[in-house]
Amino acid sequence: MHQDWIWGLVGGGLIGLAGAVYLLGNGRIMGASGIIGGLVDGTGRDTLWERLAFLAGVIVLPVLLTPLYAQQIATNITDNWLVIVVAGLLVGVGARIANGCTSGHGVCGISRFSLRGIVATVFYILAGGLAVALFRHVLGVI
Amino acid sequence: MRILLALLSGSLFGAGLFVSGMTDTTKVQGWLDVFGDWDPTLAFVMGGAILPMMVAWHLTRGRSPLAGGTFPALPKPEFDRRLIVGSVLFGVGWGLAGLCPGPAVASLSYGGTGGLVFMAAMLVGMGAAPTLAARLDRFESPA
């Protein structure tokens, strides 16, 4: 759709506002992988409830907004289970080893001109672009 | 207070991911697909998110967080093996499925079984990361 970019900008603004509230309010960097990962490996035990509250908001708002949309909402994720499992493992491992993902390194890092955030973003976009080129156009798996 | 602010932030984050279309894997893969039918939406989302965050970083100067405490100590600009290897692994997974951690959580209510399996695999990966990262460090240090 031609107005996709407007919704992208609006949604992006909300994401930036979310990061601003988390930073200015709680004094923490809003990174999805950090917030979830701290629950998995136990490093976030002392901030358990604010992590759970954040994730509750992330899950519930789309539930509330879905009825406002006329068209069917879908992730259109592949039905190739092997691809889903491998991709999930890589996303989980990679984001935690790199200490950040699209929200932490991308949004919060680039906005303060963090070199680590910029370098991470360049590498994961290049790797993602190569993965799509290889697995879609060469191998035809996705 | 901290919990309410976290809920507010999470709600804004969930709403933003939803309306921006970033929980649609075809839009994310479309952005990465420079050799195919390229979709620029993700760039607008990133730009739209970075602007308010730039203001927020500016406002941290000379202030303390609303809920008390201090702003986080920022890491030194070092590019270690963890940052590069981790980002490459993350990027390959991101390209393969078109999902990253935020949208994976935001789409749980409508992502179907595929979304749940992705989430489960992602949590397993996150659980394994500390061990793998430590192994990566050992590999780096000279024998």
> What is the complex's ipTM, to 2 decimals?
0.95
Distance from the B141 Cα atom to the nearest Cα atom in chain A, whole angstroms: 17
B110 touches chain A (CB under 8 A): yes
Length of chain B: 143
pLDDT 10s digits, A120-141? 999 999 999 999 999 999 998 8
A48 touches chain B (CB under 8 A): no
Asked whether the predicted pLDDT for residue B141 surpasses 80, the reply is: no
A131 touches chain B (CB under 8 A): yes
Q: Which two tokens stand for residue A47?
A: 């901030």
pLDDT 10s digits, B13-66? 999 999 999 999 999 999 999 999 999 999 999 999 999 999 999 999 989 999
In chain B, % of residues over pLDDT 70 = 97
Tell me the H-state helices in chain A. Answer: 4-26, 32-40, 48-65, 81-97, 110, 115-132
8 Å CB contact of A74 and B24: yes
What is the rounded CA–CA span in Å between residue B133 and residue B114?
A: 27
Domain boundaries of chain B, sorted by first residue: 2-140
Asked whether the predicted pLDDT for residue B140 surpasses 70, the reply is: no
CB burial of residue A72 (10 Å; 0-12, 13-18, 19+): exposed
What is the rounded CA–CA span in Å between residue B17 and residue A115?
A: 25
Task: Select from A23, A92, A111 the Cβ nearest to the Cβ of B121.
Answer: A92
Note the pLDDT of residue A1.
54
Task: Select from A56, A57, A94 the Cβ nearest to the Cβ of B89.
Answer: A94
Asked whether the predicted pLDDT for residue A117 surpasses 60, the reply is: yes
Interface test with A, best of B1, B2, B8, B18 (most A CBs within 10 A): B18
Q: Exposure pattern of A86-99 as b/e (b: 16+ CB <10 Å)? A: bbbbbbbbbbbbbb
